Amino acid sequence: MKKGNNHLTFTKIILDSITEGVFTVDNDWYVTSFNHAAEKITGVKADSAIGMKCYDVFRANICQTKCALSETLRTGKNIIGLPVNILDKNGQNIPVVINTALLKDEHGNILGGVETFRDITVIENLKKEISQKYSVEDIISKHHAILKLFEILPTIAKSDSTVLIQGESGTGKELFARAIHNLSKRTEEPFIAINCGALPENLLESELFGYKKGAFTDAKQDKPGRFALAEGGTLFLDEVSDFSPLLQAKLLRILQEREYEPLGATATQKTDVRIVAATNQDLAEMVKQKAFREDLYYRLNIINIELPPLRRRKEDTPLLINHFIKKLNIKTEKEIRNVSDDVMRLFMSYDFPGNIRELENLIEHAFVMCGKEQIEIEHLPKKFTETVMVESMTRPSTLHQHFQKSEEEIIKEALQRNLWKRSSTARELGIHPVTLWRKMKQIGLL
C-alpha cells in the first residue's frame, strides 16, 4: 500500500514538472487528475477541475461535436497533434495542440483516457504577424514585387489618379482594385465593377452610361448606368482593352472632361468617379498596332500596376493554399488541415496558366472530394494530375526556371523565408528534401 502511494506521489511530481498540460478522465468523463501546467494554461485549479466533467473545464470548440478523447475511447486509437481552441477561466480563447490516449490498468482494463495539451498562443501570434506582413485586404503574397506594391498601395489609394492594372487572367486584378478603393477616401462610397469583355458594344454602352426613357424601343423608364451607380466611389473597368473605338472615344472624354451623356439624353451629366482599369493584354503593343487609342492609353496609364503570374511567384503557392483552406473550412464547415507533401510537390511543379483562380478552383474541387483532414492527390481532378505528371517529365525543375538568379541565392532566400526548415523549403522549391540537403551541402550551408 505504501509502495502504491509512493508511486502516485512520484507520478504527480513528474507530471507537475512538465510544461504540457495533462489531465485524465474516467469512463464517465469526470476529471481524475489535473497537473500544474494544466492549471497554468486554463487558469483552473486542480481542486476545482477534479470531479468536474472535462467539457465543463475546457469548453473547447470540439467538445460537443468531435471530441478527440471520445474518439480515442471509442476506437482505441491515439490522436496526435490536433490543434483546437479552449476557453480559459476568464473566457479567453487559447489555441492548443492536443494528444490523446487510453488509460489502462495492469490487466488491460480501460479506466478512462488521458489528454496532453500544449499552449501554442505564441506560435499562433507569430503566424498572425507573418500573415499580416504578407497580406493586404484579401491579397496574399510574399513575392518581392507584390510586397513592394503593398508598401505603395496606400499612397496610390490616397490619390484620385486613374490606375491601370495589367496582368494575366486570374492574377487578382479586381482584388487590387478593391484594395485601392478600400484604402482610399472613397471607401464609404460604392465600388462598381464591370467586365467590359463580356458584353457586346451596344449593351456595354447602355450599361456604362445608362439611358433615358424612350432612348430605344424597350426603354420604358430611365436607367442609371455604372458611372451613375459609382458616383463618389470607384468604377473598375475590367478588360478595358475590349472597348470599341466608339467607346474608347467616350471614355477619353469622361477622363478629360469628367462628363458624359446617357443614351437618349439631351444634356451632359457630370461625374465624380475614380476609374481603375484592368487588362490582360499589352496595351502599349495594341497602341503600336492601332488597335487602341494612344491618347486614351496615356490617360489610363497614369499609375501602372503589373501583377506577375503565379508561375513567377512560386513562393506564394503554399500561402495561397493555406488561405483557401481556411476560407473553405468556414464556408463548408469542414476541418481540413492541409495538403499532403505529394500534393504540394505537384502544385509547386505546375505553371498554373489560370493563375490564382485555377489554384482556388483546384482546392475547392478537393474540398468536395475530401472526407479526411488532409487533401491527397486522389482528391484532385484526374485530368489535372495526369497533365502535371506528363509536363514534369519534360520540364526542368523549379530551381532552373529562376534563371535570373543563381541556385545558391534561391536556396538561401527560400531557407530564410521558411525559417531554415528544410522540409518547408523543399516544398516551396518543388524538390525532394534529400535533394535540398545535398545542394545545401554543396554550397556550404551545412
- Domains in the chain, ordered, with CATH? 2-124 (3.30.450.20), 139-307 (3.40.50.300), 311-442 (1.10.8.60)
Closest by CA to 429, choosing from 393, 394, 398, is 398
For residues 355 and 346, give the distance between their C-alpha atoms in angstroms, rounded to a whole number: 15
Q: Are 209 and 260 in contact (CB under 8 A)?
A: yes
| Residue 51 neighbours by CB distance under 10 Å | 10
Q: Are 164 and 279 in contact (CB under 8 A)?
A: yes
The separation between the first and the last C-alpha atoms of the chain, rounded to the nearest angstrom, is 55
For residues 298 and 213, give the distance between their C-alpha atoms in angstroms, rounded to a whole number: 35
What would the grid cell of residue 229 be?
Answer: 451607380
312 phi and psi angles, rounded to 5 deg = -100, 0
What would the grid cell of residue 148 be?
Answer: 513592394
215 phi and psi angles, rounded to 5 deg = -65, -30
pLDDT tens, the chain, 446 aa long: 444 555 556 667 778 888 899 999 998 889 999 999 999 999 999 999 999 988 888 877 677 667 888 889 888 899 988 888 888 888 788 889 999 999 998 888 999 999 999 998 887 776 666 555 667 877 889 888 999 999 999 999 999 999 999 999 999 999 999 999 999 999 999 999 999 998 988 889 989 998 877 666 676 788 889 999 999 999 999 999 999 999 999 999 999 999 998 888 778 999 999 999 999 999 999 999 999 999 999 999 999 999 999 999 988 999 899 899 988 988 888 889 899 988 998 998 899 999 999 999 999 999 999 988 899 999 999 999 888 876 665 555 444 444 334 567 778 888 888 778 888 888 777 677 778 888 888 888 87
SS3 184: coil
Closest by CA to 84, choosing from 111, 105, 66, is 66
For residues 104 and 436, give the distance between their C-alpha atoms in angstroms, rounded to a whole number: 44
What would the grid cell of residue 282 be?
Answer: 499589352
Cα atoms found within 13 Å of the Cα of residue 421, Cβ hemisphere only: 7
For residues 320 and 437, give the distance between their C-alpha atoms in angstroms, rounded to a whole number: 26
What would the grid cell of residue 257 be?
Answer: 472632361
SS3 189: coil
